[in-house]
Structure 1
Amino acid sequence: MGDDTPLSQLTTMRVGGPAERILVARSGDELVRCATELWHGDEPWLLLGGGSNTVMNDEGFPGAVLLVRSTGMEVVDDPEQPEGRVRLRVQAGHDWDALVAACVERGWSGVEALSGIPGLAGAAPVQNIGAYGQELSDVLHSIEFLDRESGEVQRLAAEQLQLGYRDSAIKRGLEGVVLSIDLLLSAGAAVEPAAPAGRHAAPIEAPAAGEALSEPVRYAQLAAALGVETGDRVPVRRLRDAVLRLRASKGVVLDPDDHDTWSAGSFFTNPIVTERFARTLPENAPRFPVGDDEPAPAVTTLEELAAGVPMRFPQPAPERRIKLSAAWLIENSGVPRGFRLPGSGAAISSKHTLAITNRGGATAAQVAELARFVVQRVQQEFGVILAPEPNLYGLEL
C-alpha cells in the first residue's frame, strides 16, 4: 500500500482522495509508538480503522493516516467475575463482526445482536455501537487507552467513558487512542432438555438441549423475524443469523458487488426530542421513550432538616424525551428509497432510507450534497434537524 493510495480504497463509502502518507500499526506497541511520534510532530494526522464510519473529502487528507491493524483476542483471568461471566480482551484492529462470530461459536452471549456491523473493535466504544436492542455499553468492561495529555497508557472503566446513544467522552473530546477493549460476556446459559411430548406446543425450530442461548430479545422487529416475543431467548447462532438477514435486507452488510452496501451505514442518528415536540408530529410517526432520570425529592422532611440536609423546593418533573425514527422522517419528507439528485453518483439506498450510498463513481461532494438535501427536506417538513452519524472530513452539511 503506497502513500498515494486514495482513501476511497480504505473506506466503505468509497470516496476520498489520498493522504500525504500512510502508516500501518500491526500491534498495540506499534500503535503507541506511531501515535506518540505523530503527536510530537507538526503534521496533521488521522487515525483510521475499518473506514466504515468515515467520509473523506475528494482532496484527501493533508497529513498522515495511521491505519489500526492490531488484531487478537484473549480471555482475561479475572477472579472478580462471577461464574458464567467471561472477560474478553480484543485488540483495537480486530474486525468487529469476526469478534461477534467467534463469541457466538463459543456460546458466549452479549454481542450477538451486533452481528454484521462493519468496522474494528477499537472504534466500538467511540461510537457506542448498537443495533437491534443491544449496545456496546451493555457489555463493555473497560478499555486500554493511550491518553494524549499524559502520554500514558491507562485502563479506563466503561463508566469513565460516559457512553450514551452513539456517543462517548472520546467522541466529545477525550483525546487519545483506543488500544484494546475488554468485554463482559455471558457463558453457560443453555436450553433445558426438551419437555415430554404433549406438555406444550413445540417451538418453531426448537433448539437442541445444551445449545447456548442469547440475551433476551429486546427489539420488536428482531423478535418478529425470529417468531418469538420480546424478552424471549433463542440460540445465539439463530439470533446472529436473523440479524444478518435483517441487515442484508437493508443493504448494510458489506458486499463489494452490491452498491447499496457502498455506504457508511446509517448516515443520520435517530433524533431525540422532548415529548411535547413529539406530540406535534403525525400520529403514525414512530417514537420510542428514552429512559427517564429519577427526579430528586421535591421537599425536605423534618427529619432531614434536623440532620442538616439543605432545604429543597418543589421542582417541575423533567420532561420526558422521545427518540424518533430518522428513516421515517426522511421517507415521509418526500425522499424515497433510491432517490438521487440529477447527475449525481450518490443516492439513498434502494433498501433503506437511512443510508446514503455510492452508486459507483460518486464523489464526496455529491454525498455531502445529497445529505444536505435530506437535512433540509426533513427540517422543512417536520422541524427536525438531522445530525450525521459518520465522521466527515473536509465536508460540511
Structure 2
Amino acid sequence: MTPVETRTTLAEHTTLRLGGPAGRFVVAETTEALLSAVRAAEDEVLLLGGGSNLVVGDGGFDGTVVKIATSGWRIDGESVEVAAGQNWDEFVAAMTGAGLGGLECLSGIPGSVGATPIQNVGAYGCEIADLLTSIECFDRRTGEIRTMTTQELGFAYRTSVLKGTDAAIVLNVRFALRSDGLSAPIRYAELARTLGVELGDRVPAADAREAVLTLRRGKGMVLDAADHDTWSAGSFFTNPIVPEPDLPAVLARIARVVDAPVPQYPADGGVKLSAAWLIERAGFHKGHPGPGGRVALSTKHTLALTNRGDAGTADLLALAAEVRDGVEARFGVTLQPEPLLINCSL
C-alpha cells in the first residue's frame, strides 16, 4: 500500500498542540507503507506516533514526517504481538478486557505502542521493561528487519538504547502477559491505598485499570480536548537520580532550605528524588503561569507543563527553563526534560 502524503502542521499531531509545519507529512497505515516511506525519503525523517512525548519547535520540521498508523495485535496464550502504531490505551483496555493482566498500571497513557519501549514508559510501579520480551525493528544502517530482546534494548529509567536515535524503527512489540485475569503485584503506595489493598497484593486487572484511570484523571493525565490541563506532554521532567556518593551533600543542601525530608526511592546508579517535590519547594505551585499566561504548570500536577490554548513552543520552553533554573538555584539539582525536543532546545 502506498503511504498517503498530506499537508499539515505538527501542532495537529502532538498532545501539547504545539509545533510548526512539516516539510512533508506521510501517513503509513501498514508496515510495508512505513518502510517504503522511510526508504523513499530524501531528507531528514521524523517518526511520529501519538505525539505525546514530543516538543516540536515553532519552526516545525523541514524534512519528512512519517506518521506511524499501523494497528492491531495477535494473542498467542500469554504472548501478545502488537503493531507499533496501535493506540496504547486502546490496546491496554483490550488486553484487560480479554482477561490478560500486567499492563493495567500503564492505563491512560497517551501515545502509540511503538513509542513505549523507546522511553521505557512507566507509571504506578510498572514499566515496559517488566513486560516486554522483544521488538521487531527496521535497522536503517543495514536495511534489515531484526529482533531485539529486552537485554539488547538496554532499559533504564525512562530510556533505552533506542532513545535519541533514529537508527532503528520499531515495527512490532511483543509482551508476556498473565492469563489469570489478575494484575501485577501492586507496588505503588497511592494505588494500593486507592484499591484498599496492601503493597504486593494482586487484584483483578480491570479493577486496577479503573483505579489508575481515576488517579490519572485527578492529575489531568488523561487526554481531554476540553481540559487544557491535559494539553501537555505528560511529566515534563524526569525524577533526578543522584549518585550515592553525592547524596549526602545534596540532601544537606536541601535540608538547609526546606525543613522536610525529600521523597527518595532506590534507583539504578543512585537514589531517585521526587521532581514534583523539588519543583513545589522551589516556589512553583500548581497553575504557576508562564509567558502571558499562555502556558502554565497544570492546576492538578506540577510536573505537567500545559498549553492554555494559544501558546507557542517558545512560551513552553521559557516556562520549562524558569522551573529548571529555579530548582537548580535553590537545591543544586538539575532537572532533565523527559520529552524529545525537535528543532528546539532547553
TM-score range, shorter chain: over 0.9
Deviation at 1:341, TM superposition (A): 2.8
Give the counterpart of 1:124 among 106, 116, 123: 116
Give the Cα–Cα distance (whole angstroms) in 1 for the partners of residues 153 and 335 of structure 2: 24
Compute the TM-score of the two structures, normalised by the length of structure 1. 0.82
Is the 8 Å Cα contact of residues 5 and 26 (structure 2) preserved in structure 1? no
Residue ranges of structure 2 left out of the alignment (5+ in a row): none
Give the Cα–Cα distance (whole angstroms) in 2 for the partners of residues 185 and 117 of structure 1: 18
Deviation at 1:173, TM superposition (A): 3.7
Deviation at 1:335, TM superposition (A): 0.6
Q: For 1:64, give the aligned amino acid.
A: T
Summarize deviations over 1:194-230 as a string: whole Å, max 9, x none: xxxxxxxxxxxxxxxxxx2211100001101111110
Determine helix, strand or coil for the equivalent of 1:239: helix
Summarize deviations over 1:166-215 as a string: whole Å, max 9, x none: 01011154712000100000112xxxxxxxxxxxxxxxxxxxxxxx2211
Give the Cα–Cα distance (whole angstroms) in 2 for the partners of residues 130 and 265 of structure 1: 12
Q: For 1:21, give the aligned amino acid.
A: R
Q: Structure 1 residues 68, 165: closer, same or farther in 2, change over 3 A?
A: same
Give the counterpart of 2:327 among 368, 373, 378: 378
Give the counterpart of 2:230 among 261, 270, 293: 261
Is the 8 Å Cα contact of residues 228 and 308 (structure 2) preserved in structure 1? yes
Give the Cα–Cα distance (whole angstroms) in 1 for the partners of residues 309 and 5 of structure 2: 23
Q: For 1:276, give the aligned amino acid.
A: P
Q: Give the equivalent residue in structure 1 for 2:8.
A: 5
Determine helix, strand or coil for the equivalent of 2:173: strand
Q: Give the equivalent residue in structure 1 for 2:27.
A: 24
Give the Cα–Cα distance (whole angstroms) in 2 for the partners of residues 168 and 276 of structure 1: 29
Q: For 2:248, give the aligned amino acid.
A: R
Q: For 2:37, give the aligned amino acid.
A: C
Give the Cα–Cα distance (whole angstroms) in 2 for the partners of residues 86 and 290 of structure 1: 29
Summarize deviations over 1:82-101 as a string: whole Å, max 9, x none: xxx61100000000001110
Q: Give the equivalent residue in structure 2 for 1:288.
A: 265
Give the counterpart of 1:390 among 332, 336, 339: 339
Give the counterpart of 2:105 among 88, 99, 113: 113
Is the 8 Å Cα contact of residues 136 and 148 (structure 2) preserved in structure 1? yes
Misfit runs of 4+, over 6 Å = none
Deviation at 1:290, TM superposition (A): 1.8
Determine helix, strand or coil for the equivalent of 1:108: coil
Query: Quick check: 279-288 or 21-30, which moved more?
Result: 279-288
Superposition RMSD in Å: 1.4
Query: Quick check: 355-364 or 334-343, which moved more?
Result: 334-343
Is the 8 Å Cα contact of residues 290 and 316 (structure 2) preserved in structure 1? no
Is the 8 Å Cα contact of residues 291 and 318 (structure 2) preserved in structure 1? no
Give the counterpart of 1:144 among 136, 140, 164: 136
Summarize deviations over 1:96-149 as a string: whole Å, max 9, x none: 001110110011111110000000000010000000000000010100010011
Give the counterpart of 1:324 among 273, 281, 284: 273
Q: For 1:389, give the aligned amino acid.
A: E
Q: Which has the higher helix share?
A: 2
Q: Give the equivalent residue in structure 2 for 1:295.
A: none
Determine helix, strand or coil for the equivalent of 2:11: helix
Q: Does 1:368 align with 2:317?
A: yes
Q: Structure 1 residues 355, 8: closer, same or farther in 2, change over 3 A?
A: same
Q: For 1:44, give the aligned amino acid.
A: E
Q: For 1:22, give the aligned amino acid.
A: F
Residue ranges of structure 1 left out of the alignment (5+ in a row): 77-84, 189-211, 292-319
Q: Give the equivalent residue in structure 1 for 2:186.
A: 217
Deviation at 1:278, TM superposition (A): 4.5
Determine helix, strand or coil for the equivalent of 1:164: coil
Q: Does 1:86 align with 2:55?
A: no
- Number of positions where the alignment pairs a residue of Structure 1 with one of Structure 2: 335
Deviation at 1:271, TM superposition (A): 0.4
Is the 8 Å Cα contact of residues 338 and 347 (structure 1) preserved in structure 2? yes
Deviation at 1:284, TM superposition (A): 2.0
Is the 8 Å Cα contact of residues 344 and 366 (structure 1) preserved in structure 2? no
Q: For 1:69, give the aligned amino acid.
A: A
Give the Cα–Cα distance (whole angstroms) in 2 for the partners of residues 385 and 370 of structure 1: 15
Q: For 2:232, give the aligned amino acid.
A: S
Q: For 2:74, give the aligned amino acid.
A: E
Q: Give the equivalent residue in structure 1 for 2:75.
A: 75
Give the Cα–Cα distance (whole angstroms) in 2 for the partners of residues 393 and 136 of structure 1: 24
Q: For 1:290, give the aligned amino acid.
A: A
Deviation at 1:373, TM superposition (A): 0.3
Query: Quick check: 166-175 or 244-253, which moved more?
Result: 166-175
Summarize deviations over 1:326-357 as a string: whole Å, max 9, x none: 11111110011000135141100000000000
Determine helix, strand or coil for the equivalent of 1:143: strand
Q: Give the equivalent residue in structure 1 for 2:282.
A: 333
Q: Does 1:180 align with 2:172?
A: yes
Q: Give the equivalent residue in structure 2 for 1:279.
A: 251
